[in-house]
């Protein structure tokens, strides 16, 4: 039995996969905000309860925001900032008394969708998380590409390409830089953009609901700005790695209009006379990342 655990910004999710890759159990609990010790305790309770319910001792794979530093072995680059600088792998192995495997949550999404999801069989797969943060993962011929610095695919902390008047002033990012893609394309980034230009505080989900219902011209304009920014940003990724498929994950991957609007828009910035890259939703929905964490033990 393989367990995958996804450490999200708002939830911690566990999935149990049997030997055929079928999900036999799923559980979610809220993420203790800004509390590393509380996060470890929540993970321990979640795994212990699942193993007791199923009567197994499972392999454990974890998807995290951020990555393990090659210099220190500690977590770096996590937008859940309480994880940064922590010896997460060592702490989890001490907690459970067994080896655990850890990968960036976007890498887990890419691995899941390339293995048996929306990009199954595609030679080059770029997976993007559009959620509390913005991340990316790259799979080539079925193999996860982490890179020598373990930042392969981390497009969210590149600058937004070609800022337009509506993109200014450049917003500050938690990473210490200005104008990162994440500050525009995350859920909180969309909400902040809407509030800045309209003086109304709404969540990304509320903005999308208003825009899709035809009830809010301001919400519609916010979503159109979002689509244009996403198209410019993904065009840069296409120009760099030229993937066969781009899979979206995270809460904003559920916005159906993105899959038509963004490929139409990105043609303006892709350095080619034709763009064959497919933009697709995840076949496994919001469970894709946690499934990929479990599949870390199939590599």
Would you put residue 121 in left (φ > 0), alpha (ψ -120 to 50) or beta?
Answer: left
Residue 113 lies in a domain: no
The strand pairing partners of 60, in sequence order, are: 3, 100
Average pLDDT on 57-77 reads: 91
Statement to judge: residues 136 and 268 lie in one domain = yes
Q: Quick one: what percent of the chain has pLDDT higher than 70?
A: 99
Q: Number of folded domains in the chain?
A: 2
Residue 115 lies in a domain: no
Average pLDDT, the chain: 93
User: Is residue 226 exposed (0-12), middle (13-18) or buried (19+ Cβ within 10 Å)?
Assistant: buried
Owning domain of residue 210: 121-281
Residue 299: pLDDT band (50, 70, 90) is: low
At 240-298, the pLDDT tens digits run 999 999 999 989 999 999 999 999 999 999 999 999 999 999 999 878 889 999 989 87
Residue 189 lies in a domain: yes
Statement to judge: residues 65 and 90 lie in one domain = yes
Residue 114 lies in a domain: no
* Confidence (pLDDT) at 80: 83
Residue 274 lies in a domain: yes
Residue 116 lies in a domain: no
The sign of the torsion formed by the CA atoms of 257, 213, 229, 112 equals negative
- Tokens 């392999």 locate to 59
Contact, 129 vs 249, CB < 8 A?
Answer: yes
Could you give the CA distance from residue 3 to residue 190 in angstroms, rounded to a whole number?
Answer: 33
Nearest to 38 by CA among 2, 80, 101, 75: 80
CATH value at residue 261: 3.30.420.40
Nearest to 51 by CA among 86, 98, 94, 3: 3
Statement to judge: residues 13 and 103 lie in one domain = yes
Statement to judge: residues 10 and 94 lie in one domain = yes
As given in the structure block, the two tokens for residue 160 are 């937004």
* Confidence (pLDDT) at 261: 98
As given in the structure block, the two tokens for residue 255 are 């916005």
- Helix (H) or strand (E) holding 46, with range, is helix 36-54
At 142-171, the pLDDT tens digits run 999 989 988 899 999 999 999 999 999 999
> What CA–CA distances, in Å, run from 14 to 69, 76, 106, 114, 235?
24, 22, 16, 20, 33
Statement to judge: residues 156 and 274 lie in one domain = yes
Average pLDDT on 8-18 reads: 90
Statement to judge: residues 177 and 223 lie in one domain = yes
Residue 193 lies in a domain: yes
Residue 81 lies in a domain: yes
Strand pairing of 2-7 and 100-104?
unpaired
Statement to judge: residues 45 and 161 lie in one domain = no
């Amino acid at each position: 039995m393989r367990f995958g655990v996804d450490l999200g910004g708002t939830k911690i999710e566990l999935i149990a996969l049997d030997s055929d890759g079928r999900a036999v159990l799923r559980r979610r609990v809220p993420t203790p905000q800004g509390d590393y010790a509380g996060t470890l305790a929540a993970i321990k309770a979640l795994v212990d309860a699942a193993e007791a319910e199923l009567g197994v001792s499972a392999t454990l794979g974890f998807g995290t925001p951020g990555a393990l530093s090659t210099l220190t072995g500690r977590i770096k680059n996590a937008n859940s900032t309480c994880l940064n600088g922590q010896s997460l792998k060592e702490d989890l192995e001490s907690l459970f008394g067994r080896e655990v495997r850890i990968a960036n949550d976007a890498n887990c999404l890419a691995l899941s969708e390339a293995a048996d999801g929306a990009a199954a069989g595609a030679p080059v797969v770029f997976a993007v998380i559009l959620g509390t943060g913005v991340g990316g993962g790259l799979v080539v011929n079925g193999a996860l590409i982490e890179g020598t610095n373990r930042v392969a695919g981390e497009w969210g902390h590149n600058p937004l390409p070609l800022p337009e008047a509506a993109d200014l002033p450049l917003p500050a990012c938690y990473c210490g830089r200005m104008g990162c893609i994440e500050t525009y394309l995350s859920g909180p980034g969309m909400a902040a953009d809407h509030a800045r230009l309209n003086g109304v505080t709404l969540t990304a989900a509320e903005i999308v609901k208003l825009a899709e219902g035809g009830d809010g011209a301001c919400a519609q304009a916010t979503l159109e700005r979002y689509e244009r920014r996403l198209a410019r940003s993904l065009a840069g990724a296409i120009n760099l790695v030229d993937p066969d498929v781009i899979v979206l994950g995270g809460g904003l991957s559920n916005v159906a209009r993105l899959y038509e609007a963004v490929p139409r828009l990105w043609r303006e910035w892709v350095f080619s006379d034709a763009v064959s890259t497919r933009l697709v939703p995840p076949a496994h929905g919001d469970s894709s990342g946690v499934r990929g964490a479990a599949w870390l033990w199939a590599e």
